[in-house]
Structure 1
Amino acid sequence: MQIEPFALERYFARHEFSARYLLSPSDCESWRMSDLLSLADAETRLLWENLRLGYTESEGHPLLRDEIARFYAPLTARQVLTAAPEEAIFIAMNGLLDAGDRVVVLEPAYQSLHAVARALGARVESWPLVVEGGRWSLDLNRLQDLLRASTRLVVVNFPNNPTGYLPTPGEWEELISLVRRSGAFLFSDEMYRLLEYDPSMRLPPACTCYERAISLAGLSKAFGLPGLRMGWLACADAAGMEKFQIFKDYTTICSSAPSEVLSIIALRSQEMIVERNLAIVRENLATARAFFGAQGGRFAWIDPCAGSVAFPRWLGEKPVEELAEEAVTRAGVMMVPGSMFGYGGGHFRVGLGRRNLPEVLSALGSYLGQKGG
C-alpha cells in the first residue's frame, strides 16, 4: 500500500510539543490519572489493583464492551470491537473496500477518512460542506447525485471535525435513507458525539439506524482521554464485524490492559466527565466568538453546532498558511490552517475544549496587535 503523508499529523509533530500555545487542539481537557481513578467504583477499583499486564481479549474486555454497547441499544457487546481510533478507521476501510470501489466522503474531514480508501485503490469522491448565510450547510441533493450502483461506502463525520457542523435530525434521517436505497455501507465517525450544545440535537448513532452502518467512537475527544488510545467500532452487520476482527489480528491484536480498565471507569462516569468538558467548551465558545468578532473585520467567525472545534476564516490578504507560520514562529501560537484538511478559503481550526484557550487567544491577540492591519 502506498499512502500519502498525513498532513495534519505531520504538522502536529512539528509544533504540538514545542509551541507554547496551541490554538487548534481537537480534544477536551485531559484528565490526570489520580482524578480518573478517584471515580472508580468498587468493581473497577478491584480490577485496577489486581491488574496483570498480560494479553487481553482481542475484541476487548467483556466489561468494557458491555459499557460501550450501552450507547448502541439494541446492539450488544458482540457487535462491538475495540481498537485505537486511528487503527479502527484503518481496519474498517481495509475490511470494506477493494480497488475500484466508489467512496463518497464528506469534507472537510480527518485525512485518514479518505486517504486510506484512496491508498487501497478506491475512487474517492468529495461531498463538501458549504457555508451559507454564515453557517455550515449540508447539500443532500449533491449526495444523491454522487450515489451510484457502484458506490460501496459513504463516509461522514458528525459532529464534524473541523467545522463543528451537525445536521438536523431530519437531515440525518434523509441522509441514511439515501444511503440505504443505494445499498452502500455508511461509515460514521462519531468521535465528537456527546458534545452537542443542545442535547435535543444529538443524533442517534448510525449503527442503530441502518444495518450496514458502522459507528466509530472513542474516549479521545468528548471524554478528554486521548492518552488511553481507546476507541471502537459498532456495527450490526455480522459479516463485516468478522472481517474487522480478522484484520485486527494483523494490527495491535489486543488493547492495553491498563487502558481497558481505565476506560471502563471513564465510561461508568460518563455523565460527570462529559458535563465537565461541555462546560469548558461552552465557556470557550463564547470567548472565541467575542475575540474573533472584535478583530476589526480580519476574521469571519462561523458558529459550530456541536463538538470541541470551530473553523473560522482569515480575511487578510496573505494566505492563512503564512499567518499560521508567523504566529507559531513569532508568538509561539500554533494554529492549524484549513489546508491540513485539504480545504482552502482561509479557514483554520480553533480548539474549544481546553481550559487555557483564553490565554492562547490573548497571546494571539497581542501578536495581531503588534503586526497591525
Structure 2
Amino acid sequence: MAAEATTDSRAQIVDQENGLPAFKLERYFAKWEFKAPYLLCCSDCEPVLLPELLSLMDPDSRTRWESLRLGYGETRGLPALVDEICTLYEGVRPDGVIVGAPQECIYLAMLALLTPGDHVVVTYPGYQSLFQVAESLGCQVDLWAVELGEDGSASFDVGKFQALLRPTTKLAVVNFPHNPTGVLLSRADWSLLMNACRGVGCYLFSDEMYRLLEFDPEARLPSAVDVYDKAITLSGLSKAFGLPGLRIGWLAVQPPCYPVLARVAELKDYTTICNAVPSEALALAALRARETLLRRNLDILRVNLHAVEAFMEEFGHVFQYRPPAAGSVAFPRLLAASAAKGDGKGEESVDVFCERLVTGCGVLLLPATVYGHELSAARGHFRIGLGRRDLPACLDALRGFLRGPQQAPLPPREQA
C-alpha cells in the first residue's frame, strides 16, 4: 500500500478472509438518510420530479413512454439510449457502451478486469467500491492519496501517481471531479496522467459521475475514453442530472476494451440481467433534454456555492473551507479547537461532532471517517452537498445549532 495510507487500509478497510466488508458510507446513510430532516451531505443534484421530466420529453420519447411494454430489456441497454450516450463522446460507438446501475458497473468492470495479484492504483479517499472490490479480489492496491493543505485546500500530485505505477500495473482508477474534495485536475496534469498509463500499458477506469458539473466550462476535461484507448469511462444520471432514482449509468470504451465489455455483459447475467425499462425510457428523455437539466442543476449549484461561502465566512472560527473546483460536493474542515463543541473544553472529533449535530438539530453531514482515510478524519474534514434546493434551510438549522445552546426546531415528519 502507499506509505501514507498503510494504516488506513488492511486493518480497517479490508478483511479478505470474509470477502467484502460493510460499505461504510452507505451504512451511514442507511442509518440517517431517511430520519434526518436536513440532508446537508448529499452528493446528487436536486432530484427531478417525474412531471418535470415528462414535460421535457421530445415526441419520440413521449411515444415510447406512453406505449411502454413492461417486459425485459436488452442486457446492454435500450438501443436508442445507447445511441444517445454515444453523442456524449467524440469517438464512442454503440458496441462500446453497456448500461447498468452505476455501482453495478463498477463492480462488474472490476470483476471482468482483475485477478488475484494484479497491481492497481486508485485515487483516495473515494467511493469505497473503487478500491474495495480490487482488494477483495486479492489485488495489490496502492492508494494515490489526496494532498491536504493546512489552509483546507486539497490537490492530487500527478508525480506521485506516476511513481506508484509499475511496469506490471494492471489498472489505474481515478475520479475527477473528485468525490469528496471537489478537486479537478488541470488539462496538463490530465495529459500527464494519460501518458503515464499509456507508458505502462495499464487499463484506466475513469469515474466521471461528476463530469458536466464544472462551474467553468473551459475547465472541463475531455473524457478519458476519448483520449486513451484503454480507458473505461463510468458515467450516469445520478449526480449531474439529478436522477439517482432511475439507477442508470453506463460504461463507455474504445475497441481495445471491447473484450472487457463483453465480459461485463456476461457477468451482468448474474446481477440485474437487464435494466428496468421505465428507467431506460426516462433516461433517454433526460439525455435528450440534457442542456435544460444541466443548466437547472448548475444554477442551483452556483446559488448554493455563494450561500456556503457566506456561511463558512460567518463561522470561520468553527470551520475551514475551500470551495470545490467542480462537482456537487465539498470537503470542509472542523477546526480542532473550535466553538462547535459549545462548552469551551477543547477538541472534538469530526465523527462525534456529526453525531451530535444530527441528533441535536437533524442536520446530516458526512464525516471523513466513513472514507476510512485517517488523515482527513484526523484533520476534521467532512463532506457537504451543494446540489439540493433546501441547502439554505439546512444552513439555517446548522446556524441555530452553532449559536446554541438552543437547538434549531425540527420540521414535522410526514406520516407513513
- TM-score for the superposition, normalised by structure 2: 0.88
CA distance in 1, matches of 2:31, 2:154: 30
Q: Does 1:278 align with 2:295?
A: no
CA distance in 2, matches of 1:262, 1:10: 29
Cα distance in 1 for partners of 2:154, 2:381 equals 12
* Matching of residues 197-208 of structure 1 within 5 Å: 197-208=215-226
Which amino acid in the other structure matches residue 169 of structure 1?
R
1:1-373 paired onto structure 2 within 5 Å? 2-132=19-149, 134-236=152-254, 237-316=257-336, 317-343=347-373, 344=377, 345-371=379-405
Deviation at 1:137, TM superposition (A): 1.5
Question: Does the CA contact (< 8 Å) of 2:46 and 2:389 recur in 1?
Answer: yes
Provide Cα deviations, 1:162-198, integer angstroms capped at 9, x if missing partner.
1111001111011110111011110000001000000
Structure-2 separation of matches of 1:283 and 1:199: 17
CA offsets, 1:46-99, max 9 Å, x none? 101110000011100010000001112211111000000000000100011001
How many residues align structurally? 372
CA deviation string 1:134-187 (max 9, x = no partner): 532221111111111221111100111111110011110111101110111100
Q: Distance in 2 between matches of 1:280 and 1:107?
A: 28
Q: Distance in 2 between matches of 1:264 and 1:61?
A: 9
How many angstroms apart in 2 are the aligned matches of 1:287 and 1:115? 35
TM-score normalised by length of structure 1: 0.98
CA distance in 2, matches of 1:80, 1:126: 28
Hey, what's the Cα distance between the residues in 1 that align with 2:230 and 2:263? 14
2:413 corresponds to which residue? none
Residue 371 (structure 1) shift: 4.5
What secondary structure is seen at the aligned counterpart in 2 of 1:90? helix
Deviations 1:252-310 (A, max 9, x none): 11000100000000000000100000010111011111101211421110210000000
Deviations 1:213-271 (A, max 9, x none): 10000000000000000000001121111111111111111000100000000000000
Shift >4 Å, 4+ stretches? none
SS of equivalent to 2:45 = coil
Whole-Å separation in 1 of the counterparts to 2:33 and 2:62: 33
For the residue of structure 1 that corresponds to 2:305, the secondary structure is helix
The one-character-per-residue Cα deviations of 1:318-360 (angstroms, maximum 9, x if unpaired) are: 0000100000111111110011112222100010000010100
Q: Report the equivalent of 2:6.
A: none
Distance 1:342 1:213 in 2: 27
Mean Cα deviation higher: 255-264 or 135-144: 135-144
2-structure distance, mates of 1:23, 1:17:
13
Q: Secondary structure at the match of 1:72?
A: coil
In structure 1, what is the Cα distance between the partners aligned to 2:225 and 2:310?
38
Percent identity of the aligned residues? 49
Aligned mates of 2:184, 2:154 — CA distance in 1? 9
SS of 2:404's equivalent?
A: helix
